[in-house]
């Protein structure tokens, strides 16, 4: 349930409502907006009458939340979530580009990539050190050594780092190198991992599973938020359909749908969304036009020699051209990129 406090409600009034909710068996999550404080009561408690709460001094309104997700719902934070990391804001007016190779391969490669993505205007460098490959015989990633190389290259250019966490045992180590922990499509419904990530106070990039509905994506985010970690960024990266021309079908409409249902920022990944280099820029433009708060794009100094996902990876010239186009699209909808 949601309790919206009146404008100017006192701290004592807010605490009074929190105590009452806790007494009823709810776990309470507090969202402090510019005007209203909103209290989200989460738990298996059904027998309450919202009118009883509306009678309490300082309470503006009380609602039963009918959607299966609560903290992820737009009602809990109508003002929207902006994930702030240093001076980078994801979910604000600026469309944030996260770019880099599918996998970290070597010092030379990641240093070159850092130059390319920084010069192109990206603020976050991506790169996998632990790779969820469909085949056990494919390259599995450089592990911690790759993270060290990526963080050093990123720090030199003032970039943030996003990298995938595949297993809860990797969390402490990954947190020391990556400003944002990525949950890959294959792990979107790994509920043990999501719960562990909920205990952190560290930003998470949650990618949509290949067969996940929008509601399942939002429920996966609810697992993380219910632990008190509210810095969740969603990612539309394409879903599996009967179409075979593209690797996945990038569901651009999921972006405005998520924006309507949730306060969480969402980024588009046109690389995994299409699997084809020639389609990355068009779908990046589409994602930004549809309201994406950022892009996750694969870039490599020599994509034809990339150890993973080369076919969907941009070369430096293609990346620069995509950035130029995306800036124009962002400007058309009163944003920057
Ligand atoms: C990746 O970002 O390289 C990746 C493996 O993505 P996904 O989990 O979306 O397949
Ligand atoms: Mn990849």
Going 217 to 199 to 20 to 35, the CA torsion angle's sign is negative
> What is the per-residue pLDDT across 195-205, written as a single tens digit (0 to 9) for each?
999 999 999 99
Ligand 1 centroid distance, CA of 241 (Å): 17
pLDDT greater than 90 at residue 103: yes
Task: Give the nearest ligand 1 atom to 132 CA.
Answer: 5
What per-residue confidence (pLDDT) applies to 218? 98
- Which of 129, 237, 313 has the most ligand 1 atoms within 8 A of CB, as the residue to mutate? 237
In whole angstroms, what is the distance from residue 204 CA to residue 207 CA? Answer: 10
pLDDT greater than 90 at residue 132: no
What per-residue confidence (pLDDT) applies to 45? 84
**Whose CA is closest to 184, among 125, 269, 92?**
269
What per-residue confidence (pLDDT) applies to 65? 85
Percent of the chain with pLDDT strictly greater than 90: 94
What per-residue confidence (pLDDT) applies to 168? 95
Lowest mean pLDDT among 44-58, 108-122, 177-191, 194-208: 44-58
Lowest mean pLDDT among 103-117, 131-145, 210-224: 131-145
What per-residue confidence (pLDDT) applies to 76? 93
pLDDT greater than 90 at residue 298: yes
> In the chain, helix, strand, coil percent, each to 5?
40, 20, 40
Mean pLDDT, rounded, for 221-243: 98
Is 184 close to ligand 1, i.e. is its CB under 6 Å away? yes
- Which of 130, 182, 251 has the most ligand 1 atoms within 8 A of CB, as the residue to mutate? 182
Is 209 close to ligand 1, i.e. is its CB under 6 Å away? no
pLDDT greater than 90 at residue 275: yes
Q: Whose CA is nearest to atom 10 of ligand 1?
A: 185
What per-residue confidence (pLDDT) applies to 37? 95
Tokens at 43, concatenated: 């738990």
What per-residue confidence (pLDDT) applies to 44? 81
Q: What is the pTM of this model?
A: 0.95
What are the phi and psi torsion angles at 60 (to 5°)? -90, -55
Mean pLDDT, rounded, for 139-143: 94
pLDDT greater than 90 at residue 34: no
Is 104 close to ligand 1, i.e. is its CB under 6 Å away? no
Q: What is the mean pLDDT of the chain?
A: 96
Q: Note residues around ion ligand 2 (Cβ under 5 angstroms).
A: 102, 309
Confidence band, pLDDT 50/70/90 cuts, at residue 316: very high
Mean pLDDT, rounded, for 256-262: 98
Q: How many CA atoms lie within 13 A of 14 on its CB side?
A: 18
Ligand 1 centroid distance, CA of 272 (Å): 7
Q: What is the DSSP string of 173-213?
A: HHHHH-SEEEEPGGGTT-HHHHHHHHT--S-EEEEPPTT--
């Amino acid at each position: 349930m949601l309790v919206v406090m009146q404008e100017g409600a006192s701290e004592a009034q807010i605490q009074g409502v929190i105590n009452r909710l806790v007494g009823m068996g709810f776990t309470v999550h507090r969202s402090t907006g510019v005007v209203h404080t909103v209290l989200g009561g989460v738990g298996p408690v059904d027998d309450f009458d919202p009118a009883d709460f509306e009678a309490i001094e300082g309470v503006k309104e009380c609602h039963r939340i009918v959607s299966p997700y609560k903290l992820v719902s737009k009602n809990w934070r109508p003002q929207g979530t902006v994930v702030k990391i240093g001076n980078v804001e994801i979910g604000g007016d600026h469309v944030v580009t996260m770019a880099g190779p599918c996998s970290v391969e070597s010092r030379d490669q990641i240093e070159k990539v850092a130059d390319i993505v920084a010069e192109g205007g990206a603020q976050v460098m991506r790169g996998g050190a632990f790779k969820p490959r469909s085949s056990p015989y494919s390259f599995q990633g450089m592990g911690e050594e790759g993270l060290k190389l990526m963080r050093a290259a990123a720090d030199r250019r003032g970039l943030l780092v996003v990298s995938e966490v595949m297993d809860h045992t990797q969390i402490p180590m990954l947190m020391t190198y990556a400003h944002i922990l990525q949950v890959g499509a294959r792990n979107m419904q790994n509920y043990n991992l999501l719960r562990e990530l909920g205990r952190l106070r560290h930003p998470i990039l949650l990618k949509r599973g290949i067969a996940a509905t929008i509601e399942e994506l939002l429920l996966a985010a609810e697992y993380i938020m219910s632990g008190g970690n509210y810095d969740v960024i969603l990612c539309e990266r394409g879903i599996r359909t009967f179409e075979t021309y593209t690797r996945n079908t990038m569901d651009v409409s999921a972006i405005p749908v998520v924006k309507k249902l949730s306060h969480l920022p969402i980024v588009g990944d046109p690389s995994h969304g299409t699997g084809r280099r020639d389609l990355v820029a068009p779908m990046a433009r589409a994602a930004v036009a549809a309201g994406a708060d950022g892009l996750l794009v694969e870039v490599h100094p020599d994509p034809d020699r990339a150890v993973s996902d080369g076919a969907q990876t941009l070369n430096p010239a293609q990346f620069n051209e995509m950035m130029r186009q995306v800036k124009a699209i962002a400007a058309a909808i009163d944003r920057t990129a």
